[in-house]
Amino acid sequence: MHTQVAIIGAGPAGLLLSHLLHLRGIGSVVLERRSRAYVEQRVRAGVLEQGTVDTLVESGVGERLLREGLPHRGIELRYGGAGHRIPFEKLVPGRTITVYGQQEVVKDLIAARLAAGGDVRFEVDDVALHDIATDRPYVTFGGLRLDCDVIAGCDGFHGVSRPSIPAGALTEFHRDYPFAWLGILARVRPSSEELIYARNERGFALHSMRTPQISRFYLQVPPDDDVAAWPDERVWAELKARLETVPGFTLATGEILEKSVTPMRSFVAEPMRHGRLFLAGDAAHIVPPTGAKGLNLAVADVRVLTRALARFFADGSTALLDGYSDACLQRVWRAQHFSWWMTTLLHTFESDDAYGGRLQTSYLDYVTSSEAAATTLAENYVGLPYEEER
């Protein structure tokens, strides 16, 4: 078999890349080790930047997103017994966020690829990458061989793509945080129209949502915490303790559908390519979810890679491919800083003394009282314009 681009991973990065390449007449095969049902039901991020929404709509896969997504024109920072709204519509006119689950984006992309006759293969075993430093790379899987011109590694932090790069060819930057997030999905109407980021002496909490009937919550917990230690009664009691800190706010409760513990880490691999293998999304970088940047960074990577591949297949020029990593990493490191900043601003650190806590409060006071500081938060949260838009 032969294709122009072999794509490893059927998450948002891999599927969107395949879709955008198809629109430009470039062939691809997507290989995914999980089942279709698994990837369509896997609950992940749900906050889409303005640029991500625009990309999906402009590429023809945004109909359901526009119909069912929940646009948000601000967020609330809650601390010290008061809530403080960051108004996107005032600070960054024309740019906002939309709440629409990652699994819904995946469903839309799979439907679009299959409707167009795309080759997306699920439950693929024994994927291995070969000759990636040459101009004739290939992929083997399930006893088959797929020759290609380029391989796109879109298979996440634990995938096979990045480990296929020879030792020493990448520089890896790591930061692990001394806490995790307990994620809760509940069948209950949201108690707020917008996301609430709550700093509390008991630990951070986030009130989010997926639909008008489904809410999403996160609690800061120890990094080695076990889901079994969090029966429903304890979950709701802790959420109430951390969120019901302003007058008049009552947290609605209901049936809990899912619980999971997610470690908090930052990671970047440089460069984001080796020979004809190009990494995108979580295969190349991880951010703590506080800044809601993971899925959005993957979309930004794919946009850059699509333009570079379109140029390469049109006239053989490698100029944009050679600049792929540098172009992506500029945005990646900006998102890394923003995510680190949001995380350190809002979480409780065991190592902090009273001095550290006062510093957090001081900066929160600054962000919520200074239009300049609030604008910095807002423009990073809704997503900086893509390079070609500046």
Residues identified as active-site: 72, 197, 289, 293, 381
CA distance 225 to 234: 14
- How many CB atoms lie under 10 A from the CB of residue 345? 20
CB 124 within 8 A of CB 141: yes
Cβ neighbours of residue 171 closer than 8 Å, sequence gap 6 or more = 269, 270
| Calpha distance 180→265 (Å, rounded) | 9
| Cβ-Cβ contacts under 8 Å for 179 (sequence gap 6 or more) | 203, 220, 221, 222, 223, 264, 347, 348
Rounded Cα distance, 329 and 331, in Å: 5
d(CA 98, CA 56): 12
Question: For the residues of 304-318, what is the DSSP string, one character each?
Answer: HHHHHHHHHHHH---
- Cβ neighbours of 52 (radius 10 Å): 26
Return the structure tokens found at 80.
Answer: 């010290």
Q: Which of 342, 25, 94 is nearest to 197 (CA)?
A: 342
Give the Cα separation of 266 and 289 in Å (integer): 10
**How far, in Å, CA of 370 to CA of 249, rounded?**
25
